[in-house]
């Protein structure tokens, strides 16, 4: 283009610019032509190529790995960096901030220049965003979906992981040291994870723990052992046998005719360690239960540090020293103990001696002996007598580390150990020492099913168990045990109790309900009391969780009818359930008679104020003790336990204004005339004669007499 052509073009441009071009129909026509062209292209692509639709969604297909379209892959990848509660940042807040920034961009960038180099800030931010989107998209494309590919390579444990875990955790899981992975998988004890113990067997959970902690071991197992062995069969063998099988190869007796290779040569030490970690996952609780529990029970006493315990486990040997019992026991007692050790059923007299002198170290496990003579010599002479395997030659360093960490936790009062104590104190009386069940003391003729069976534990997650313990099951005669429901156990203690129940799942103590002969209902009040009342009120009515029934204050403040009604209907302000649907009227009447016997058979027949001036100690205090103390005295706030606290405690003190019934909050609550809150007691108003006693005392100046 020469100079003349340029001048002509600029002249025409200026004319057109001065005149302008109308939006309708010129610009609108051009937009319509382009839009129709794009539409025709999309129709042609859809007709000749088609959309890559997959099969209809099937919620039962757990092998499918959902992936977004390519233009959303960057958001999909971004979401991986914001797990759990941080998801809202990646899903909502960041994208919203970007959209708002785009809306605000015309107001933030007011530069008249159009060239990118003339606007470095905005151009740089746009380029950075573009690089971020492309980078995240590239990472999402490069990262393979969770290990579904491995599962189709014949590794059943990898398939199990892909079906149940990979959708949230991705191809690998970082597990902090000393983590009880088996329990986490079984109970889903972290944010958003379901409890898998209802869907997976204990062996499958073990296999998953091994795969997560040693994925290379799972691959090696599939390649080297999978032709003959199933992967879920974890921890079924003795650890020494596992180590011998790898070390001896074809010389290992069970593999003599299997044509196995010499793994000491074909596998590197690292591969053999990975395989052992897969077969016996370095999970402290499972390792302890399988390899240590037969001798040590559920826990072991230890006061040293982790390094010393690690060294002790690694070296093994004679490590338990027993005192020479010939210095404390007679020869006859030693012979009785020796006979009991050899055959407990043949020498039942030795059980009492064993409980008295041996259970502190041996627990419920009776040590084995080849004969009475050997047992007699060991008991009489004492000394180091229990040989622990040299676990350093059998277990991997990771397994020993996990075992030492778990042993230390149980020695310091871990939840499982504490739960065992709580179970013995609160639950064994009805459920049996091993959760085996038996006759229901609250419902004559009813049988309590086992709570330690595989079926029970697999069909109830921790949330369900926690709710049952906390809230009770009144229709089955089980009172609430949670503090929030008026029971004696704190949330931490209930968690420990649940952990103890869950520890049975790997090796359930019972499989079927016990066979119990049908018995008649308890006939005497003493029998009924021992079965349904003593757990809370004490065997002799001395009071435990519930008030003391033999206390003179309780006996004086309640008539027989009031005691009958409380037993029949329960006490809504406490954990006491109504026994009227469980016990007959005759049984409750017998129970009332027995409670009177506990207190010396003193029943109130008239108002305490009838004899003269009202006394705080003799008349008012017993009423407050019986009707108010169960809550006001242990839950904070107003305290009904003493004269001073009755007058001066609580957030609205003074609740008693001597000589002024109308303005005394205690009187208002008893009469239902309070300005705020509800009347007291919450279970129902006191009898008029008892209310009058308290009102007369306030009217008389509330004396401390």
Residue 43 located in a structural domain:
no
* Residue 601 confidence (pLDDT) above 60: no
Q: Rounded distance, CA 266 to CA 223, Å?
A: 12
Of 142, 169, 204, the last residue of a domain is: 142
Q: Within this chain, do residues 261 and 184 fall inside the same structural domain, yes or no?
A: yes
pTM over 0.85: no
Regarding predicted confidence, which is higher, 26 or 512?
A: 26
pLDDT at 682: 62
Q: Identify whether residues 361 and 394 lie together within a single domain.
A: yes
Q: Kindly state the helix (H) or strand (E) to which residue 407 belongs, with its residue range.
A: helix 397-411
Confidence of residue 615 (pLDDT cuts 50, 70, 90): confident
On the CB side of 624, how many CA atoms lie within 13 Å of its CA?
24
405 and 423 part of one domain? no
Domain boundary among 472, 503, 534: 503
Judge contact between 137 and 73, C-beta under 8 A: yes
Residues 176 and 203 in one domain: yes
Return the closest-CA partner of residue 666 out of 676, 656, 658: 656
Is the same domain home to 531 and 496?
A: no
Q: Is residue 392 part of a domain?
A: yes
pLDDT at site 234 = 43
611 pLDDT above the threshold of 50: no
Higher pLDDT, 218 or 295: 218
For 350-377, letters b (16+ CB in 10 Å) and e give beebbeebbeeebeeebbebeebeebbe
Q: How far apart are CA 44 and CA 41, in angstroms?
A: 5
Examine residue 11 and state whether it is found in any structural domain, yes or no: no
Q: How much is the average pLDDT of 405-417?
A: 67
Tens of pLDDT along 194-235? 777 667 777 778 778 878 877 777 778 777 777 777 654 443
The pLDDT value given to residue 144: 56
Handedness of CA 133, 139, 141, 146 (dihedral sign): negative
Q: Hey, what long-range contacts does 545-550 have (CB within 8 A, 24 or more apart)?
A: 545/487, 545/488, 545/575, 546/574, 546/576, 546/630, 547/625, 547/626, 547/629, 547/630, 549/595, 549/598, 549/599, 550/598, 550/599, 550/600
Three-state secondary structure call for residue 158? helix
Tell me, yes or no, whether 259 and 179 share the same domain: yes
Does residue 401 have a pLDDT over 80? yes
CA distance 506 to 286: 8
Tell me the percentage of the chain whose pLDDT exceeds 70. 78
The answer to whether 420 and 426 have CB atoms below 8 angstroms apart is no
Q: Is residue 195 part of a domain?
A: yes
Work out the pLDDT band at 236, boundaries 50, 70, 90.
Answer: very low
Segment 381-401 shows an average pLDDT of: 74
60 within a domain of the structure (yes/no) = no
Q: Is residue 48 part of a domain?
A: no
Pairing of strands 438-439, 447-448: antiparallel
Q: Which one-letter DSSP state was computed for residue 611?
A: G
pLDDT confidence of residue 135: 93
**Phi/psi at 554 (5° precision):** -65, -45
Q: Which of 136-150, 371-385, 586-600 is modeled with the greatest confidence?
A: 586-600
For residue 32, the model assigns a pLDDT of 95
Please tell me what DSSP assigns to residue 652: T
Residue 111 maps to a domain: no
Please indicate, yes or no, whether residues 155 and 266 belong to a single structural domain of this protein: yes
Taking a C-beta distance cutoff of 8 angstroms, is the pair 231, 237 a contact?
no
The enclosing H or E element of 169 equals helix 166-169
Chain mean position to CA 371: 45
Same domain, 276 and 301: no
State which of 250-254, 287-291, 377-381, 573-577 shows the largest mean pLDDT. 377-381
Q: Which of 285, 311, 332 is the last residue of a domain?
A: 285
255 and 327 housed in the same domain: no
pLDDT in tens, 76-111: 888 888 877 788 888 889 889 989 988 988 888 887
Range of the domain at 654: 614-699
Quick one: 474 and 435 in the same domain? yes
Model pLDDT, residue 362 = 67
Give the integer Cα–Cα distance in Å for 284 and 277.
12
| Side-chain half-sphere CA neighbours of 410 within 13 A | 27
**Residue in the structure block whose two tokens are 């996990």:** 402
The pLDDT of residue 191 is 55
For residue 529, what is the domain's CATH number?
A: 1.10.760.10
Same domain, 152 and 279: yes
* Residue 163 and residue 91 share a domain: no
Into how many domains does the chain fold? Answer: 6
The answer, yes or no, to whether residue 387 has pLDDT greater than 70, is no
Q: Per-residue confidence at 266, pLDDT binned at 50, 70, 90?
A: confident
Q: Examine residue 271 and state whether it is found in any structural domain, yes or no.
A: yes
Q: Is pLDDT of 414 > 60?
A: no
Q: Please check whether residue 596 is in contact with residue 559, taking contact to mean a CB–CB distance below 8 angstroms.
A: no
pLDDT value of position 150 = 41
């Amino acid at each position: 283009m020469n100079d003349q052509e340029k001048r002509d073009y600029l002249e025409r441009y200026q004319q057109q610019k001065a005149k302008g071009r109308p939006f309708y129909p010129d610009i609108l026509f051009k937009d319509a032509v382009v839009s129709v062209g794009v539409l025709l292209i999309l129709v042609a692509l859809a007709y000749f190529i088609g959309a890559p639709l997959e099969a209809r969604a099937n919620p039962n297909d757990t092998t499918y790995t959902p992936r977004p379209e390519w233009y959303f892959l960057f958001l999909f990848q971004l979401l991986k960096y914001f797990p759990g509660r941080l998801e809202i940042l990646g899903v909502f807040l960041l994208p919203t901030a970007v959209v708002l920034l785009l809306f605000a961009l015309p107001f933030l960038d007011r530069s008249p220049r159009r060239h990118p180099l003339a606007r470095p800030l905005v151009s740089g931010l746009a380029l950075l965003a573009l690089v971020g989107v492309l980078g995240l998209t590239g990472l999402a494309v490069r990262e393979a979906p969770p290990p579904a590919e491995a599962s189709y390579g014949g590794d059943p444990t990898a398939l199990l992981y892909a079906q149940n875990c990979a959708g949230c955790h991705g191809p690998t899981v970082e597990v902090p040291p000393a983590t009880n992975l088996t329990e986490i998988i079984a109970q889903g004890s972290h944010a958003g994870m379901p409890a898998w113990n209802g869907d997976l067997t204990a062996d499958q959970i073990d296999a998953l723990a091994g795969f997560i902690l040693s994925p290379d071991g799972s691959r090696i197992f599939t390649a080297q052992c999978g032709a003959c062995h199933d992967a879920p069969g974890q921890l079924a063998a003795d650890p020494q046998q596992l180590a011998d099988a790898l070390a001896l190869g074809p010389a290992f007796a069970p593999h003599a005719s299997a044509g196995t290779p010499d793994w000491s040569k074909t596998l590197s030490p690292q591969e053999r360690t990975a395989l052992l970690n897969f077969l016996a996952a370095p999970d402290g609780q499972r390792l302890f239960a399988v390899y240590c529990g037969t001798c040590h029970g559920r826990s072991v006493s230890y006061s040293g540090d982790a390094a010393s315990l690690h060294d002790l486990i690694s070296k093994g040997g004679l490590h338990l020293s027993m005192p020479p019992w010939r210095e404390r026991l007679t020869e006859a007692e030693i012979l009785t103990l020796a006979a009991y050790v050899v055959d407990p059923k043949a020498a039942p007299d030795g059980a009492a001696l064993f409980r008295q002198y041996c259970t502190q170290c041996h627990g419920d496990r009776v040590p084995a002996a080849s004969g009475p003579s050997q047992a007699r010599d060991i008991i009489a002479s004492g000394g180091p007598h229990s040989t622990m395997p040299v676990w350093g030659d059998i277990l991997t360093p990771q397994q020993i580390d996990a075992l030492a960490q778990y042993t230390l936790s149980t020695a310091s009062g871990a939840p499982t150990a504490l739960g065992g104590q709580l179970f013995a104190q609160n639950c064994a009386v009805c459920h049996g020492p091993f959760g085996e069940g038996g006759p229901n003391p609250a419902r004559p003729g009813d049988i309590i099913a086992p709570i330690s069976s595989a079926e029970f534990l697999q069909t109830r997650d921790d949330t369900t168990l926690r709710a049952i313990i906390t809230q009770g099951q009144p229709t089955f005669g089980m009172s609430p045990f949670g503090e929030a429901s008026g029971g004696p156990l704190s949330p931490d203690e209930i968690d420990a109790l649940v952990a103890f129940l869950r520890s049975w799942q790997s090796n359930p103590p019972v499989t079927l309900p016990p066979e119990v002969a049908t018995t008649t209902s308890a006939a005497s009040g003493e029998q009924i009391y021992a079965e349904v009342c003593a757990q809370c009120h004490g065997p002799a009515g001395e009071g435990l969780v519930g008030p003391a029934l033999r206390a003179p204050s309780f006996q004086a403040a309640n008539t027989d009818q009031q005691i009958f009604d409380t037993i029949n209907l329960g006490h809504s302000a406490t954990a006491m359930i109504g026994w009227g649907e469980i016990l007959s009227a005759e049984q409750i009447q017998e129970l009332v008679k027995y409670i009177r016997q506990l207190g010396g058979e003193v029943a109130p027949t008239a108002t305490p104020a009838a004899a003269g001036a009202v006394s705080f100690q003799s008349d008012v205090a017993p009423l407050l003790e019986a009707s108010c103390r169960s809550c006001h005295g242990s839950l904070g706030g107003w305290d009904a336990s003493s004269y001073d606290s009755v007058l001066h405690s609580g957030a609205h003190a003074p609740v008693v204004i001597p000589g002024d019934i109308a303005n005394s909050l205690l009187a208002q609550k008893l009469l239902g005339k309070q300005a705020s809150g509800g009347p007291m007691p919450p279970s129902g108003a006191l009898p008029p004669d008892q209310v009058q006693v308290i009102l007369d005392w306030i009217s008389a100046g509330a004396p401390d007499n």
